[in-house]
Structure 1
Amino acid sequence: MTVQRQFFTSDEAAPVVVENPLGKGRVLLVCEHASHTLPASFGTLGLSDDVLESHIAWDPGALAVARLLSASLDATVIYQNYSRLIYDCNRPPESPSAMPATSEIYDIPGNANLSEAERFARTAALYIPFHDRISDLVAARDSVVLVTMHSFTPVYHGKRRDVEIGLLHDVDARLVDAMLDHVESENFQVERNQPYGPEDGVTHTLRLHALPNGLLNVMIEVRNDLIQNEEGQRAAADFLSELLIKAIATHSP
């Protein structure tokens, strides 16, 4: 509680949000980078408004797609209410990118030279409550399918990315294999472990909750220029919902 008071004023939102908690579907949707909001006590981290609204601070469109998937799959959604620039909940505390001093081409002054105490306080306020809540949700239900929802920028370090939807996995490829087997539509260019893969350290949530429990799992990345508006978000969600339903059906509970 003391750490929470250091981070959040009485009128600030809680860091962890669960929607449709009584959903009957097997899928548990996780959105680690849902918001670009910063706790008031951190100001702007020394960044301009346009940078704080860019992809380095959050995954634009990811939560909107997750909510549409929740509606079609009757799935519970859990998301982090604050920017990954304060703490990236898809990274373990020991990772430098959990509280990055640099993201892509941007230096982040408010994250420079953090002390161990400062890093611990952020971990305790944001990372631990988030992952504890995921653990609780997994433990409370049977045969969970863990799906983490992300978006990525179409241009990274000046290089154009052609992939439109990435289906990422770590050592357990069962669900991704089944999803790729059922890709029939030519509406999206879908690739395995693109534009990132486990070697980039992006599968932390899967490693923490899915692999030890033997859960079917996938990390979904959608290029964010495709989900800037409701029409694009709906198209992506409809495509992914059908793909997930078909793929999950090939694996009995």
Structure 2
Amino acid sequence: MNQTQQMNNDAVVEVLNASGASDIVLVCEHASAFIPTALNDLGLSAEARHSHAAWDPGAKAVACEMARQLDAPLVASKVSRLVYDCNRPPDAPSAMPERSEVFDIPGNKKLTRNDRETRVARYYTPFHDRLKQVLSTKPDPVVVTIHSFTPIYQGIQREVEVGILYDQDTRLADAMLEVETGTFVTRRNDPYGPADGVTHTLKEHALPQGRRNVMIEIRNDLIETADAQTSLAIQMSRWVADAVTQSKDISCRV
């Protein structure tokens, strides 16, 4: 990789606490609402650019504190999921959505095949290559992705506070649900699940390799302030660490 390529990659993905000793590797695909200047804000209003449609509010702050608590590396995207959703494969319409929640995305309408391939090369590939590289440094990596979700979706109030999501491998999710102390309203594959196409990172970097994995969704009204983010991250870190220990000797059943 030449210097220009490295600079371009650094602009779209970052690794925090890269030397973290834990086998846990944290991932935050929707960490940022940033839209590169060349894309002209994708034609969006300020409201849309700062809404949950563009990123997962609070998720990166929680993930950063978890990285500190667990001494784990964190791989995070530095661009909005409306530019490219790094938790979607290149052939998914939702990777570069024309509409997200209540917002039309003018800058994603009528993208040519070349336009899409350019975004894949510029945003998706560097992110997943970097994640793959970080995972390769661990003897028994555990993939934990951190997301947040809106409390009201399409006018419906969501009761769930923390979702524990998985695809086919239930080991870590089962352990998390077993050790959870009832602090949160916690549910399996809620508010999303595999049928919603949200488990791409797990399917790409954990299932084929037999790695334990889980996707954590946090209702974003629980992490609106810095204090709330820190407090929840501390609780979540203990929860994840206990579950990783409990699931260590369980064979993959996929």
If the TM-score is normalised by the length of the shorter chain, which range does it land in? Answer: over 0.9
The match for 1:59 among 56, 59, 66 is 56
Q: Aligned partners of 1:252 and 1:199: how far apart in 2?
A: 27
Q: Deviations over 1:117-148 (max 9, x none)?
A: 00000000000010011111111211111000
Q: TM-score, normalised by structure 2?
A: 0.93
**Structure 2 vs 1, CA of residues 92 and 36 (structure 1 numbering), >3 Å: closer, same or farther?**
same
- Contact 2:164/2:187 (<8 A) preserved: yes
Query: Does structure 1 residue 144 correspond to structure 2 residue 141?
Result: yes
Query: Does structure 1 residue 168 correspond to structure 2 residue 190?
Result: no
Residue 195 of structure 2 aligns to a residue in which SS? helix
Q: Deviations over 1:83-119 (max 9, x none)?
A: 0000000000000000000001111111001000000
Which letter maps to 2:199?
A: T
Map of 1:93 onto structure 2: 90
Map of 2:112 onto structure 1: 115
The match for 1:34 among 31, 34, 39 is 31
**Structure 2 vs 1, CA of residues 172 and 46 (structure 1 numbering), >3 Å: closer, same or farther?**
same
Equivalent pairs, count: 247
Q: Deviations over 1:42-88 (max 9, x none)?
A: 01111111110000000000000001100110000010100000000
Q: Aligned partners of 1:169 and 1:108: how far apart in 2?
A: 29
Q: Deviations over 1:157-204 (max 9, x none)?
A: 1111110000100000000000100011x3311111010000100000
Q: Aligned partners of 1:11 and 1:126: how far apart in 2?
A: 9
Which letter maps to 2:86?
A: C
Which letter maps to 2:167?
A: D
Q: Aligned partners of 2:244 and 2:143: how far apart in 1?
A: 11
Q: TM-score, normalised by structure 1?
A: 0.94
- Contact 2:23/2:72 (<8 A) preserved: yes
Map of 2:69 onto structure 1: 72
Q: Aligned partners of 1:11 and 1:142: how far apart in 2?
A: 29
Gaps of 5+ in 1: none
Residue 175 of structure 2 aligns to a residue in which SS? helix
Map of 1:226 onto structure 2: 222
Q: Deviations over 1:199-230 (max 9, x none)?
A: 10000000000001111100000001110111
Q: Aligned partners of 1:110 and 1:250: how far apart in 2?
A: 46
Gaps of 5+ in 2: 250-254
- Contact 2:9/2:126 (<8 A) preserved: no
The match for 1:84 among 72, 75, 81 is 81
Map of 1:50 onto structure 2: 47
Residue 43 of structure 2 aligns to a residue in which SS? coil
Which letter maps to 2:196?
A: D
Which letter maps to 2:195?
A: E
Which letter maps to 2:79?
A: Y
The match for 1:216 among 204, 212, 217 is 212
Which letter maps to 2:51?
A: S
* Cα RMSD after superposing both structures: 1.8
Query: Does structure 1 residue 126 correspond to structure 2 residue 123?
Result: yes
**Stretches of 4+ aligned residues off by more than 4 angstroms:** 10-13
Which letter maps to 1:160?
A: Q
Map of 2:252 onto structure 1: none
Query: Does structure 1 residue 201 correspond to structure 2 residue 197?
Result: yes
Q: Aligned partners of 1:187 and 1:231: how far apart in 2?
A: 17
The match for 1:248 among 244, 247, 251 is 244
Instruction: Give me the identity figure in percent.
Output: 49
